[in-house]
Amino acid sequence: MKLHFTTTHEDHRVALLAALAITIHIIESAFPSPLPGIKPGLANVVTLFTFMMYGWKTALQVSLLRVIISSLLLGTFLSPTFLLSLSGALFSLSSLILTQQLFYLFHLTLRLFSRHGLSDNNYSQPGAIGYAIIASISHMSGQFLMAWYFFIPHPGLFKLLPILITFAVILGIVSGIITQLTISQLKRKQIQKSQLQPDNQ
Amino acid sequence: MVLYKSRLEVEMAIFKPADVFILLSACFLTAWLYAVFWFDNAQQGEADSLLIQLADNEPVEYTLSKDKIITIQGHIGPSLIEIKQGKARFIHSSCRNQFCVFHGWLTVAGDTTACLPNRVSISLKGTLNDYDAIAGGQ
Amino acid sequence: MNINFNVCLLTFFLLFLTACQNKDPSKGLYQQQLFTFGTLIDISIVSDNSEQAKRAIDIISSEFDHLHTQWHPWKNGALGQLNKKFYDASSSSDTFTSPPSVIKLIQDSQLLSEQSNGLFNPAIGQLVKLWQFDQIENENYQFKIPDPEKIQQLLEKNPQMQDILINNEKITTNNAAIVLDFGAFAKGVAIEKMMSILKDQHIDNALINAGGDLKVLGSKNGKAWKIGIKNPAKTQNPSEKAIIAAIELNDNETLFTSGNYERFFEFQGKHYHHIIDPRTGYPAVGTQSVTVLTEDAALADAASTALFVAGPKLWAEIAKKMNVQYVMLISDDNKIYLTPAMAERIELLTDIKPVIVK
């Protein structure tokens, strides 16, 4: 007996991106951290890229797959570490969506008041760097709040928060630049392709 | 001045206006976190004035930056209160058991002691992040 | 484009500023100190309505005065009169009456006394009287150690809360040595009462600190009430830190401390404090202070006394029996003992490593 799976192009894309994210996640888990379980979230680059290129639904699939599969591989499934990275991932993705919606709302408001220009939402939307900073800060604070609430409810823990957020901002900028360069490169190739084959649309 | 010529240029730009805004807000947030969780705690409980209250009267405020000795006429006699180097204490009171004197120096904002028979209380006040109360007797 | 970009930034900054301004406008804080209930009572009320705050403080003030007389073991109030009847009673068949507030006090403390294995024992009023701690504010009194034989006699009579029987508001006792002293209970019950008065006055955020024992309502403009706990070692050594630990209290929580430095006599170089061990008849040994956090001030008051008497060896067991989760005990040899729940909440400001007792 043979089982038949029909997989779409989208599924392949999700699988590819998730695999990439898992690789980064596992490499990252080898790094030491000031608070057990709290990680900088470099795998966020993949989530961010997916979010900006293919939308939040794909990004959600990729980041859930990343969290679940890498915790299975690392043997931390359903452990505190797993819960922390899950909450970090969900926190950062939901604030990405929120930011996008807020800026879209802002764009609509602006369009009401301007007679010319700004017809395209892309002008008022943040770029990868803005999104990456948001993602990184919310990833960090999501994990931090979970850690504080469930595992170490000690007020002294908050002394660490400013340092963690500083790192989050720096990492956000770095991963934002990486993402932006990747996206730019990809778009440039797409444009070159479409210029080479003008009939291909 | 024109910021961007084409849509392509917008998408290729490393920094967009909204990015600058987000980055500034992030820096602001970080600075604020440092202020709240580091700077504040360093000042925890530091007092800068002394309140002296006699019975149910309004308390009288003295600065802690000037050393002095204050005499208060209480219910049964005088109470002597000393301010020295940002601290305060009873040096004498007209009560028999002298608990207020035994209490020694008040050093943190929120700390209070009283000479109950003489109905005189002294407490320290700070401006930054005081304790709301001190537990464990006067 | 240029204009729009500027509009964009400007709008954001304006949004930002308004967001900052709307962030919880601080309500007024009304503070009042009262000399009543044999101690100094500090009341803090967070409210926008100063009339409301003042009214509440007035009601509390007169209520504390009233309860102080009513529940004082030797003054001419309800409890003092009952004690006098106990004292003068000729036979165990005598029945006494007392107002409902005193009856409730007796019934509640009977339960707590039983839970504490008798370490919290308000029935030893005669012992406390023997030590003359009620004379502490008397100008002409000279402290002396009571006659050991008298202490022994009272211990043999073994007055317990369970020796009091209440039937249809009629009080009888089969122990002639019973005299009630609610010194370790009345303050807790009174604070609970004051808190319900505040709630009746529609005050949701307040702190009452009665001589270092306190209870909070709500928060201070959205922030938990932050409490410093006095370092008992400072009484002997002025160079010690004044505050040994900090803790945040949430709505309805109460923090009670019993310390050997609160009321005491110095006599011939020795320190005699006011917490009498009902098993020995002498001031309890082994403990410098006990701090208890619960939601019921009456329980906290009784428990802090019982655990103080229990000492560093027995306290954890009694705390479990009394159903108290948050305890800190500082022993005579400056060790800090914590329950696991307390260890998670308290912020110690000392280098001493705490002993966590499960």
The per-residue pLDDT for range C312-344, each reduced to its tens digit, is: 999 999 999 999 999 999 999 999 999 999 999
Per the listing, tokens 């619960």 go with: C294
Q: How many CB pairs under 8 A join B and C?
A: 128
Instruction: Work out the minimum CA distance from A153 to partner chain C, whole angstroms.
Output: 6
Query: What is the Cα–Cα distance from C226 to C238, expressed in whole angstroms?
Result: 24
Burial class from Cβ neighbours inside 10 Å (0-12, 13-18, 19+) for residue C147 reads exposed
Between chains, do C345 and A153 touch, taking CB under 8 Å as contact?
yes
State the pLDDT confidence band at C25, using cuts at 50, 70 and 90: very low
Per the listing, tokens 């002997």 go with: C236
> What pLDDT is recorded for position C59?
94
Nearest alpha carbon to residue C308 among C184, C154, C158: C184
State yes or no: pLDDT of A118 exceeds 60. Answer: no
* C154: containing domain: 74-173
Residue A151's alpha-carbon distances to A71, A79, A87, A154, C344, in angstroms, are 19, 11, 14, 9, 10
- Flag whether residue B78 sits within 8 Å of chain C, measured between CB atoms: no
Instruction: Work out the minimum CA distance from B60 to partner chain C, whole angstroms.
Output: 13
Taking CB atoms and an 8 Å cutoff, what residues of chain C touch B45? 228, 243
Query: What is the Cα–Cα distance from B86 to B71, expressed in whole angstroms?
Result: 18
Residue C145's alpha-carbon distances to B58, C180, C270, in angstroms, are 41, 21, 11
Q: Which tops the pLDDT comparison, C118 or C95?
A: C118
Q: Is residue A196 assigned to a domain?
A: no
Between chains, do A154 and C344 touch, taking CB under 8 Å as contact?
yes
Q: What DSSP character marks residue C331?
A: E
State the pLDDT confidence band at A1, using cuts at 50, 70 and 90: low
Taking CB atoms and an 8 Å cutoff, what residues of chain B touch C232? 136
Q: Is residue A38 assigned to a domain?
A: yes
Q: What percent of chain C has pLDDT over 90?
A: 60
pLDDT digits (tens, 9 = 90+) for A158-197: 778 888 899 889 889 988 998 888 888 888 888 788 777 6
State yes or no: pLDDT of C28 exceeds 50. Answer: yes
Which of A104, A110, A158 is best to mutate for the C interface (most C CBs within 10 A)? A110
Query: What is the Cα–Cα distance from A47 to A136, expressed in whole angstroms?
Result: 11
For residue C279 the two structure tokens come to 């098993």
State yes or no: pLDDT of A8 exceeds 70. Answer: yes
Q: What percent of chain A has pLDDT over 90?
A: 18
State the pLDDT confidence band at B130, using cuts at 50, 70 and 90: confident
Note the ipTM here.
0.83
Q: Is residue C108 assigned to a domain?
A: yes
First and final C-alpha spacing in chain A: 41
Q: What DSSP character marks residue C116?
A: T
> What pLDDT is recorded for position A135?
92
Which of A99, A105, A106, A122 is best to mutate for the C interface (most C CBs within 10 A)? A106
Between chains, do C225 and B45 touch, taking CB under 8 Å as contact?
no
Query: What is the Cα–Cα distance from A82 to C74, expressed in whole angstroms?
Result: 63
State the pLDDT confidence band at C4, using cuts at 50, 70 and 90: very low
Q: Is residue C137 assigned to a domain?
A: yes
Q: Which of C4, C345, C347 sits opposite A110 (nearest CB)?
A: C4
Total of domains in chain A? 1
State the pLDDT confidence band at A147, using cuts at 50, 70 and 90: confident
Q: Is residue C354 assigned to a domain?
A: no
Query: What is the Cα–Cα distance from A27 to A77, expressed in whole angstroms?
Result: 17
Tell me the average pLDDT of chain A. 82
Please list the residues that pair with C41 across neighbouring strands: C34, C210
Domain containing residue A28: CATH number? 1.10.1760.20
Q: Which tops the pLDDT comparison, A138 or C19?
A: A138
- Flag whether residue A103 sits within 8 Å of chain B, measured between CB atoms: yes
State the pLDDT confidence band at B10, using cuts at 50, 70 and 90: low
Which of B20, B32, B37, B129 is best to mutate for the A interface (most A CBs within 10 A)? B37
Between chains, do A113 and C8 touch, taking CB under 8 Å as contact?
no
Between chains, do B10 and A103 touch, taking CB under 8 Å as contact?
no
Q: Which residue of C has its CA nearest to A115?
A: C4
Residue C159: partners with Cβ closer than 8 Å, 6 or more residues away:
C121, C123, C124, C126, C175, C177, C178, C179
Tell me the average pLDDT of chain C. 87
**B-contacting residues of A 122-151, CB under 8 Å?**
122-127, 129-130, 133-134, 137
State yes or no: pLDDT of C13 exceeds 60. Answer: no
Residue C166's alpha-carbon distances to C63, C161, C173, C184, in angstroms, are 26, 11, 9, 21
Q: Pairing relation of β-strands C336-338 and C355-356? A: parallel
Chain centroid to CA C11: how far?
54
Taking CB atoms and an 8 Å cutoff, what residues of chain A touch C4? 110, 114, 117-118, 123
Please list the residues that pair with B115 across neighbouring strands: B120
- Flag whether residue B12 sits within 8 Å of chain C, measured between CB atoms: no
pLDDT digits (tens, 9 = 90+) for A39-68: 666 778 899 999 988 989 999 999 999 989
Per the listing, tokens 């403009």 go with: C221
3-state secondary structure B9-52: HHHHCCCCHHHHHHHHHHHHHHHHHHHHHHHHHHCCCECCEEEE
Q: Which amino acid, C18?
A: T
> What pLDDT is recorded for position C23?
37
* A111: containing domain: 11-186
Query: What is the Cα–Cα distance from B92 to A1, expressed in whole angstroms?
Result: 99
Between chains, do B133 and C9 touch, taking CB under 8 Å as contact?
no
DSSP for C263-318 reads SEEEETTEEEES-B-TTTSSB--SEEEEEEEES-HHHHHHHHHHHHHHHHHHHHHH
> What pLDDT is recorded for position B127?
65
Give the CA diameter of chain A.
65
pLDDT digits (tens, 9 = 90+) for C41-58: 999 999 888 889 999 999
Phi/psi at B2 (5° precision):
-115, 130
Q: Is residue C125 assigned to a domain?
A: yes
Residue A166: partners with Cβ closer than 8 Å, 6 or more residues away:
B30
Q: Which amino acid, C328?
A: M
Taking CB atoms and an 8 Å cutoff, what residues of chain B touch A188? 12
Q: Is residue C164 assigned to a domain?
A: yes
Q: Is residue A3 assigned to a domain?
A: no
> What pLDDT is recorded for position C295?
96
Instruction: Work out the minimum CA distance from C57 to partner chain B, whole angstroms.
Output: 12
Q: Is residue A2 assigned to a domain?
A: no
> What pLDDT is recorded for position C26?
55
> What pLDDT is recorded for position C223?
86
Q: Is residue A201 assigned to a domain?
A: no
Identify which of A112-121, B6-15, C11-20, C148-157 has the greatest average pLDDT: C148-157
Q: Summarize chain C as % helix, strand, coil (round to 5).
A: 40, 25, 35
> What pLDDT is recorded for position B30?
92
Work out the average pLDDT over A81-108. 88
- Flag whether residue C11 sits within 8 Å of chain A, measured between CB atoms: yes
Residue A6: partners with Cβ closer than 8 Å, 6 or more residues away:
none
Taking CB atoms and an 8 Å cutoff, what residues of chain A touch B17? 124
Tell me the average pLDDT of chain B. 82
Burial C14-26 (b: 16+ CB within 10 A, else e): eeeeeeeeeeeee
Total of domains in chain C? 1
pLDDT digits (tens, 9 = 90+) for A16-44: 999 998 988 888 877 776 665 566 667 78
Q: Is residue A94 assigned to a domain?
A: yes
Q: Is residue A113 assigned to a domain?
A: yes
Q: What CATH number belongs to B49-125?
A: 2.60.320.10
Contact of C184 with C258, CB cutoff 8 Å = yes
Between chains, do C228 and B108 touch, taking CB under 8 Å as contact?
yes
